[in-house]
Structure 1
Amino acid sequence: MTTSRMRAEIGEQPEALRRTIEALLPRVPEIERLAAETRQVLFIARGSSDNAAVYGRYLIESHAGRLATLAAPSVATTYGRKLDLDGVLAVAISQSGKTEEIVETLAWAKDCGARTVAVTNGEGSPLAETAEVPLITLAGDELAVPATKTYTTQLAALAVLGLGIGVDCDPADLRRVPDEVEGLIRATEASPALGRIVEALSEVPGAVVSGRGIAFGTALELALKIKEACYLHAMGLSYADLLHGPIAVVDDQTPALLVAAEGSPTLAGTIALAERVRGAGAEAFGFGGGSGLAQASTAALPGPDLPEWVAPLGLIVPGQIMVENLARRLGIDPDVPRGLNKVTQTD
């Protein structure tokens, strides 16, 4: 079978991450100077970039002690409401740097008094030109519509941003990511659980995808990939929200995909959720979480051997591979999902 573009670009992630990390780590002092003039962070994004922003939010709040929030771009673009953003670091994220809504919202934030950063794969793009500090990812051209290497390099850029804002972690952890992702691709494709999970999902109309804390953005991104590349209903939820009612939808036709970083303070809750799901007669499929989540799950794919603060850079990779395999199992071309384009414009 011909290799899809999506699968080829999944395999390009180790080198894309290596280039991006080595290019951006020297810019930490520049970020520190800009961040010193601010007290909180506002992320501006849509789609996969918005899921990357969720990672950035949890990273900065849990490891740098600063308030971080997700913007509502329509406040700027539709309502035209001016806010006091003095003391805010506005961080806009867009793989292309050409989404007009995101460019306009970053310009609005600057006009409202914010300092500005852009994370984009589009060097020389309108978004990069709008920001005071553009952090350019070096993913190379991404031809498949579902974001893979542009997403993980965005996470790498946000990890560097976090170091500049005050995340008290070892940059050496970040430098280990490319090799870890390379090994994780091999381990995932060799795992018997891959075929087991793909086969199970090919026979159901949808799934619940859940994680918490720093892994929450990964759960949202995996749910998005299942929806856009496989046309299945996939609900991405924090497991705290899942337990507040939506868990009622988990049954023999709606399995749970559970995402966790090994060593995370949220791992015990994820394991307990897997046990509850299986106790209710449904299937629970683990992504990461080490042997504990694997033992509690129906089947599980490996996660990265990385500390929690950078684990999401690898944690999404088994999910990407699973989605690409599932799309082909369903007779869908994962490179060109119906109704989608590489650059999405919204009003």
Structure 2
Amino acid sequence: MTTTTSVMRAEIGEQPAALRDTLDALLPLAPEIEALGRETRQVLFIARGSSDNAAVYGSYLLQAHSGRLATLASPSIATTYGARIDLSGVLAVAISQSGRTEEIVDTMAWAADCGARTVGVTNGDGSPLAEAADLALVTRAGNEVAVPATKTYTTQLAALAVLALGLGAGLDHGELAAVPDAIDDALDRPADALDAIVERLVGVEGAVVSGRGMAFSTALEAALKLKEACYLHAMGLSYADLLHGPIAVVDSATPAILIAANSGPTLPGTVALAERVVSAGAPAYGIGGGSALAGACDLAVPAPDVPEWLAPISLIVPAQLITERLARSLGYNPDAPRGLGKVTQTG
């Protein structure tokens, strides 16, 4: 394992502070979120890339805890097809780290023109997205230099947790406020399990990353990080989709990385999946899931013990650390993956 430091690793370590600053800035906006909630019935998320993975979390969170239908938009319906849809009663939530991705800004404007109220979730204070939205939830991640999103992603998740609270989710504000300290504690733990998983991932060409429910968003984001920084053929799949056929790709050369909160309704199924993977002769590596998932996997990294509704904010941190370590072990620079920039424009 190389000991060279990276900007990505430094920014991973900045996440607790970024989360505290973001929560301090956004929790006071709850009354404004509530006002928008009174005018709307359902939520439409508009995003791409890591922000789209954050939107998956937001969709599960709102539907499970606020009683609102939440769906993911297809921006090309607006930008390519130019279709008109009745979006009255819809709260369109556009998510962009920079706030400058034209497709996302244009799709939010289209949603407003179709009758939606709008919220912009961005780290770009004063960005086109923030300026155009009815309400801007501006995260406080600070400048992010490494191309793979770390602190901008977790602060997006925190913003969506605040959004859920404002839209009527009967959840504990204090549990959300405790997440930064839990991540701080996790970053201080010995890295033996992380390093052991990284050593086993060196040399593999592909991996399946799976989670269910709230953790599905983390599986998608973890797979994206492994593709971006390590050039690994990583597939992010839900537990259910994996069982519907693609599980055949998991074998001795294609490990499964299984992600779960330490408690909650999806944990037993994730443990059962780990047992099935191992019984088929394939490696299974766990992130989170407490002692139950650890006992079913070959290796596992513990995650902070936070409630399931907040687990994605903390579960992604071990995946980020694995990605950063694996990239360096493979001789890649995790800060500047080939072919990628901080702002991606899509036509």
Instruction: Report the TM-score when normalising by structure 1.
Output: 0.99
Aligned to 1:207: 207
Conservation of the 8 A alpha-carbon contact between 2:204 and 2:253:
yes
Aligned to 2:43: 41
Map 1:155-234; keep pairs closer than 5 Å. 155-187=157-189, 190-234=190-234
> For 1:192 and 1:7, how far apart are their aligned partners in 2?
16
TM-aligned CA deviation for residue 112 of structure 1: 0.2
Identity of aligned residues (%): 70
Q: 1:20 aligned to 22, 28, 33, which one?
A: 22
- Residue 262 of structure 1 aligns to which amino acid in structure 2? N
> For 1:161 and 1:214, how far apart are their aligned partners in 2?
16
Conservation of the 8 A alpha-carbon contact between 2:285 and 2:297:
yes
2:110 maps to 1:108: yes
Q: Which runs of 5+ in 1 are unaligned?
A: none
Map 1:13-162; keep pairs closer than 5 Å. 13-162=15-164
Secondary structure in structure 2 of the residue aligned to 1:309: helix
> For 1:309 and 1:263, how far apart are their aligned partners in 2?
10
Map 1:165-314; keep pairs closer than 5 Å. 165-187=167-189, 190-314=190-314
Secondary structure in structure 2 of the residue aligned to 1:31: helix
> For 1:232 and 1:245, how far apart are their aligned partners in 2?
21
> For 1:122 and 1:304, how far apart are their aligned partners in 2?
29
TM-aligned CA deviation for residue 192 of structure 1: 2.1
TM-aligned CA deviation for residue 193 of structure 1: 1.6
Cα RMSD (Å) of the superposition?
A: 0.6
Secondary structure in structure 1 of the residue aligned to 2:115: coil
Secondary structure in structure 2 of the residue aligned to 1:51: helix
Aligned to 1:321: 321
Conservation of the 8 A alpha-carbon contact between 2:4 and 2:328:
no
- Residue 137 of structure 1 aligns to which amino acid in structure 2? T
> Can you list the C-alpha shifts for 1:71-98, whole angstroms capped at 9, x where unaligned?
0000000000010000000000000000
- Residue 30 of structure 1 aligns to which amino acid in structure 2? E
> For 2:191 and 2:269, how far apart are their aligned partners in 1?
25
Conservation of the 8 A alpha-carbon contact between 2:63 and 2:69:
yes
Aligned to 2:341: 341
> Can you list the C-alpha shifts for 1:78-131, whole angstroms capped at 9, x where unaligned?
000010000000000000000000000000000000000000000000000110
> For 2:8 and 2:74, how far apart are their aligned partners in 1?
30
> For 2:4 and 2:200, how far apart are their aligned partners in 1?
23
Aligned residues: 345
- Residue 125 of structure 1 aligns to which amino acid in structure 2? S
> For 1:192 and 1:12, how far apart are their aligned partners in 2?
21
> Can you list the C-alpha shifts for 1:258-310, whole angstroms capped at 9, x where unaligned?
00001110000000000000000000000000000001000000111110111
- Residue 266 of structure 1 aligns to which amino acid in structure 2? T
Extract structure 1 runs of 4+ deviating beyond 6 A. Answer: none
Secondary structure in structure 1 of the residue aligned to 2:259: strand
> For 2:33 and 2:194, how far apart are their aligned partners in 1?
40
Secondary structure in structure 2 of the residue aligned to 1:234: strand
Secondary structure in structure 1 of the residue aligned to 2:39: coil
Secondary structure in structure 2 of the residue aligned to 1:311: helix
> Can you list the C-alpha shifts for 1:22-55, whole angstroms capped at 9, x where unaligned?
1111111110001110000000000000000000
> Can you list the C-alpha shifts for 1:231-272, whole angstroms capped at 9, x where unaligned?
010000001000000000000110000000011100000000
Q: Which runs of 5+ in 2 are unaligned?
A: none
> For 2:158 and 2:141, how far apart are their aligned partners in 1?
11
TM-aligned CA deviation for residue 200 of structure 1: 1.1
TM-aligned CA deviation for residue 195 of structure 1: 1.5
> For 1:122 and 1:270, how far apart are their aligned partners in 2?
36
